């Protein structure tokens, strides 16, 4: 079972990294993060999802990533929102300087 879980994690993370390199406005070859960031959160939603999949597994990680993407709009506060230590679908905004 651990082998299947590891393969699933690898495939999901590889798919997200391909998306980042080809389509993401924050990670792809045409991105200019030194000028401006498109994503309102740090880490970006795709990086957040990769970290969540590594920490919580494919199903929970993808659920957390989907929840994060649904929060990514002009009606929510932006800022530092790392992957929480415990599984939750709520925002985990923190002050990075606290």
pLDDT in tens, 75-91: 888 888 889 988 888 77
11 vs 91, residue with greater confidence: 11
Q: Report the predicted TM-score, pTM, of the whole model to 2 decimal places.
A: 0.83
- Per-residue pLDDT, 97: 58
Phi, psi of 68 (to 5 degrees): -65, -45
End-to-end CA distance of the chain: 40
CA atoms within 13 A on the CB side of 46: 19
Q: Which residue has the tokens 């960031």?
A: 37
Q: 64: closest CA among 39, 40, 37, 43?
A: 43
- Per-residue pLDDT, 52: 96
Q: Which residue has the tokens 């920490």?
A: 55
pLDDT in tens, 34-85: 666 677 888 889 999 999 999 999 999 999 999 998 888 878 888 888 899 8
- Determine the Cα–Cα distance for residues 60 and 56; give it in Å rounded to an integer: 6
């Amino acid at each position: 079972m651990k082998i299947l879980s590891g393969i699933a994690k690898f495939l999901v993370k590889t798919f997200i990294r391909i998306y980042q390199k080809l389509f993401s406005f924050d990670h792809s070859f045409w991105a200019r993060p030194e000028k401006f960031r498109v994503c309102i959160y740090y880490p970006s939603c795709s990086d957040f999802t990769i970290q969540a999949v590594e920490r919580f597994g494919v199903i929970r990680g993808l659920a957390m990533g989907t929840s994060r993407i649904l929060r990514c709009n002009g009606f929510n506060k932006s800022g530092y929102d790392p992957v929480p230590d415990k599984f939750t679908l709520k925002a985990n905004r923190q002050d990075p300087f606290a």
